[in-house]
Amino acid sequence: MNHLSHETLANLANQYGTPLYVYNAESIKTQYEKLTNAFSSCNAKFFYACKSLTNINVLRYVKSLGGSLDCVSVNEVKLGLIAGFAKEEILYTPNCVDFEEILEVKELGVNINLDNISILEQFGNKFGGSYPICIRLNPHILAGGNYKISTGHIDSKFGISIHQMRHIERIVKTTNLRVEGIHMHTGSEIKDINVFLEGLEVMFSMATHFPDLKYIDLGSGFKVPYQPGDKETDVNLLGQKVAEAFAQYETETGKKLQVWFEPGKFLVSQCGYLIVKANVIKQTTSAVFVGVNSGFNHLIRPMMYDSYHHIENISNAEGTPRIYNVVGNICETDTFAWDRTLPEVKEGDYLAFYNAGAYGFEMSSNFNSRLRPAEVMVENGQARVIRRSDVFEDLLRGQVI
């Protein structure tokens, strides 16, 4: 993996201050090429799920690699267009939005993926077959590393149940909807490739209902390693199995379909680091706390999903190992790590949180009226600030009323 060295991270912390998000562009490139190579035997297309990290400079970098864009809101679509993506390269997959937003996106000309019977009927009645769509189906497959990030099970709010196919067919027939794609996404952090293959079989069975079909979208959810010793999804084996399945489908039906994927975390998780400073070392009757100058206002995943982020003391990597609880500085219980073994931490040391590229800054806030971190991208050995402030920071400076 293309990890940035402790020295590089510490130098960036000294230069730009902490807390600080750092993204390694080379890591994104490695992950993207890993996918394109794995699925080279398929007619595959990759849409970066930008909800994981929407910094416009990251979007532009993904575009430079040849990627397309997956969006879940009208503003993500607009950001993608500003970043230079063509409308044909953008897929819009909303959930529980009103019809007015969908109408606004339709005017932008991008690919639209609908996951609601009511919205499907409204869209069909208004546009008929004049604007092709994709339909998101719920395959009723429970998968993912945490129930909160599982999206394909029977109780999920996402997608139209595969058991409502008769209803979908009636709407399509009545309104002359042109369905060119069907979509599924079962969750995130999926280790077992059989989850994708099981879902693909469901999609193939659904495909027979749509004569104009051009592609099947399998979403994403590829696992990336968070803890030492973790393994990521075997995309090479999955690519081989998917290619075989699509070839067999073409032989049996005479239809050649494209396969779409929407990697988000897989592309940007490992590129990101959150660098923080140890404010205080606090010893209590039961534990030793490292209190850092950040909190769940900057990285909420450990508190929201009980997720693990590897932490390293980049100021004292060879220090004597000790056990700490790493906690934040906001007025809330914001524990990043319990009973974590780290080289001895002293006040003023820099700690680096790994795998902070996906849903790190993107889910950050100004809770406790604290500013969000700056973001720096390292590309070809050169670092540059890609986001320094937000409206809230400008407000504190008296620049916005």
Catalytic residues: 331
Tokens of 107: 């005017």
pLDDT at 13 over 50: yes
**What is residue 231's predicted lDDT score, i.e. its pLDDT?**
86
Average pLDDT score over residue span 58-86: 97
Average pLDDT score over residue span 137-156: 57
User: What is the DSSP annotation of 252-301?
Assistant: HHS---EEEE--SHHHHTTTEEEEEEEEEEEE-SS-EEEEES--TTT--H
By residue count, the chain amounts to: 401
pLDDT tens for 259-269 read 999 999 999 99
pLDDT at 186 over 80: no
Sorted by where each begins, the domain ranges of the chain are 39-267, 272-396
pLDDT at 206 over 70: yes
Of the CA atoms within 13 Å of residue 350, those in its CB half-sphere come to: 23
Strand ranges (E), 50-177: 68-71, 90-92, 111-114, 133-138, 160-161
Q: How far apart are CA 248 and CA 376, in angstroms?
A: 46
Average pLDDT score over residue span 95-123: 96
**What is residue 270's predicted lDDT score, i.e. its pLDDT?**
97
Domain 39-267 adopts which CATH fold? TIM Barrel (3.20.20)
pLDDT at 147 over 50: no
Least confident of 37-41, 181-185, 286-290, 337-341: 181-185
Residue 188's pLDDT band (boundaries 50, 70, 90)?
A: low
Which range has the top average pLDDT, 22-26, 94-98, 224-228?
22-26
pLDDT at 341 over 80: yes
Residue 149's pLDDT band (boundaries 50, 70, 90)?
A: very low
The one-letter amino acid code at 320 reads T
Residue 399's pLDDT band (boundaries 50, 70, 90)?
A: low
Domain 272-396 has CATH 2.40.37.10: yes
pLDDT at 397 over 80: no
Contacts of 348 (CB under 8 A, 6+ apart): 277, 278, 315
Positive or negative torsion for Cα 341, 147, 182, 249: positive
Least confident of 171-175, 185-189, 261-265, 289-293: 185-189
Residue 105's pLDDT band (boundaries 50, 70, 90)?
A: very high
pTM of this prediction exceeds 0.85: yes
**Averaged confidence pLDDT in the chain:** 92
**What is residue 350's predicted lDDT score, i.e. its pLDDT?**
98
**What is residue 2's predicted lDDT score, i.e. its pLDDT?**
76
Average pLDDT score over residue span 196-208: 92
Q: How far apart are CA 198 and CA 186, in angstroms?
A: 11
**What is residue 220's predicted lDDT score, i.e. its pLDDT?**
86
Query: Which backbone phi and psi does 323 adopt, to 5 degrees?
Result: -105, 130
